[in-house]
Amino acid sequence: MLQVNYIRENRDRVVERLAVRNFDAVELVDELIALDERRRQLQIESETLAAEANAAARQIGELMRAGKKAEAEAVKLRSGGYKEQQKQLADDLVAIEKELHDKLVRVPNLPHVSVPKGFGADDNEVVLEYGHRPALPAEALPHWELAAKYDIIDFELGTKVAGSGFPVYKGKGARLQRAMINFFLDQAEKAGYKEVQPPILINEASGFGTGQLPDKEGQMYHVGIDDLYLIPTAEVPVTNLYRDTIVKETDFPIKLTAYTPCFRREAGSYGAHVRGLNRLHQFDKVEVVQIVHPDKSYDVLETMSTYVQSLLQALNLPYRVLRLCGGDMGFTSALTYDMEVWSAAQVRWLEVSSVSNFETYQTNRLKVRYKNEGGKTQLAHTLNGSALALPRILAAILENNQSDRGIKVPEVLVPYTGFEWVD
């Protein structure tokens, strides 16, 4: 979340940048500034009262030691209300801090100056397009029909076991999944990321730390009896590994990667555009996370974008990179690039990765800090990206590489699959 000091000192800029998100922040920002002023006034009153109470206690002690009991009792009588006043001020301060916090978490991150203004996906900016879109014959099949033809994914069996959005991968389909996971993890390791295997259940504090709570609880699966959440992405547990931590400046950049299943309720998602692997409740993903020095985060964002693109190039998938507009950007992000692959059979783009810089928005919640050269404690910056989400990658591989013989497996995956064709 944003720091209230920054909001107070940069009111007009905060309002201006949030307008890029189509977020009218004037009233909320002014309420936050007023609450912060009241909080600071209460702190001053509390500190002043504590000083007076301490001074009175010292005076009483001195009078008692001097044998002036009557005068000591008089001072004690005059200062008798301090304790009650201190309790009232403490209660008022707790209440005002809670109200301030509850309003502060409603404020999204400030968009970077390069973020275009817009209302939705149609307003996103195409940064680049790479590769040639394959020309398929008229009888080419979408991936869900190819999956049935070659018996590699069973959507109906998954519905039987769990419900729609939970496919069962079979035979070469399962091998392809495992191949992509291992390939993505191996590439991440070569790029300097340390592999971790985090929990796939998180507590409320972890969800709050990375910004899923209280914003996205409706999209998360909640295990009520234990008050835990199934993760929507490995970003959450991996970034939370550093919650409440002061790292050394020399530790930067901290680079982590993880494979996990991911779970999203995707409430309200219906229609042909979510058919097959296009949108699932459970899916596999390899994530990359970096915790970096604030001065380096935007250079790192470009490096992470280039890295994700290298995976798509290795798979020989045509793709494009989008800079998301303010209206289509995530609540916690300052700048996001989306990578989309071309689905030749569906004749449309499919999002397969988002790479985002959160600046200090997450680290302020997580309390991930470092000490600079002067010894002052500062907030680090966090970034993350999908590298990659498997379902739509698999959909594009199946559709784009289909032929009369079968489906050609990308060359880089063959050492992992042990076969060149799905047939």
Q: How far apart are CA 213 and CA 150, in angstroms?
A: 41
Coil, strand or helix: which one is 275?
coil
For residue 287, say whether it is annotated as part of any ligand binding site: yes
Q: Which residues contact 61 (CB under 8 A, 6 or more apart)?
A: none
Coil, strand or helix: which one is 237?
helix
Closest CA to 303 of 376, 369, 239, 383: 383
* The pLDDT value given to residue 74: 84
Q: How far apart are CA 138 and CA 88, in angstroms?
A: 77
Task: Take residue 356 and report the two structure tokens written for it.
Answer: 């985002």
* Paired strand residues for 262: 283
Closest CA to 261 of 201, 186, 200, 202: 200
* Paired strand residues for 377: 371
For residue 353, say whether it is annotated as part of any ligand binding site: yes
Cβ-contact 361, 334 below 8 angstroms: yes
Q: How far apart are CA 35 and CA 389, in angstroms?
A: 42
The predicted-structure confidence for 90-149, as pLDDT tens digits, reads as follows: 999 999 999 999 999 999 999 999 999 999 999 999 999 999 999 999 899 999 999 999
Q: Tell whether omega for the bond before 277 is within 30 degrees of 0, i.e. cis.
A: no
The rounded percent of the chain whose pLDDT value lies above 90 is: 86
Q: How far apart are CA 94 and CA 68, in angstroms?
A: 39
* Paired strand residues for 349: 342
For residue 182, say whether it is annotated as part of any ligand binding site: no
Nearest 5 degrees, angle CA 185-CA 191-CA 197?
35
Coil, strand or helix: which one is 382?
strand
For residue 265, say whether it is annotated as part of any ligand binding site: yes
* The pLDDT value given to residue 12: 98
**Structural element, H or E, at residue 350:** strand 348-359
Task: Name the H helices within 121-264.
Answer: 143-149, 155-161, 172-190, 204-210, 235-240
109: left (phi over 0), alpha (psi -120 to 50) or beta: beta
The predicted-structure confidence for 21-72, as pLDDT tens digits, reads as follows: 999 999 999 999 999 999 999 999 999 988 888 898 888 888 889 888 888 7
3-state secondary structure 40-68: HHHHHHHHHHHHHHHHHHHHHHHHHHCCC
For residue 210, say whether it is annotated as part of any ligand binding site: no
* The pLDDT value given to residue 404: 93
Closest CA to 254 of 262, 265, 264, 246: 246
* The pLDDT value given to residue 69: 87
For residue 99, say whether it is annotated as part of any ligand binding site: no
DSSP state of 384: E
User: Helix 26-65 crosses helix 11-19 at what angle (to 10 degrees)?
Assistant: 150
Cβ-contact 30, 18 below 8 angstroms: no
User: Helix 82-104 crosses helix 26-65 at what angle (to 10 degrees)?
Assistant: 160
**How far lies 399's CA from each of 129, 130, 298, 335, 408, in Å?**
19, 18, 35, 31, 10
* The pLDDT value given to residue 63: 87
Cβ-contact 301, 357 below 8 angstroms: yes
In residues, how long is the chain? 423
Cβ-contact 100, 35 below 8 angstroms: yes
* The pLDDT value given to residue 268: 54
For residue 384, say whether it is annotated as part of any ligand binding site: yes
Cβ-contact 1, 361 below 8 angstroms: yes
* The pLDDT value given to residue 374: 85
Q: How far apart are CA 386 and CA 183, in angstroms?
A: 14
- Going by DSSP bridges, is the β-strand pair 319-323/335-343 parallel, antiparallel, or unpaired? antiparallel
For residue 401, say whether it is annotated as part of any ligand binding site: no
User: How many Cβ atoms from other residues are within 10 Å of residue 182's Cβ?
Assistant: 16
* The pLDDT value given to residue 299: 98
Cβ-contact 294, 380 below 8 angstroms: yes
Dmax (CA) for the chain in angstroms is 108
* The pLDDT value given to residue 83: 79
Coil, strand or helix: which one is 324?
coil
User: Which residues in the chain come in under a pLDDT of 70?
Assistant: 80, 267-272
* The pLDDT value given to residue 296: 98
Cα distance from N-terminal residue to C-terminal residue, the chain: 51
For residue 373, say whether it is annotated as part of any ligand binding site: no
For residue 264, say whether it is annotated as part of any ligand binding site: yes
Domains of the chain: 4-104 (1.10.287.40), 121-422 (3.30.930.10)
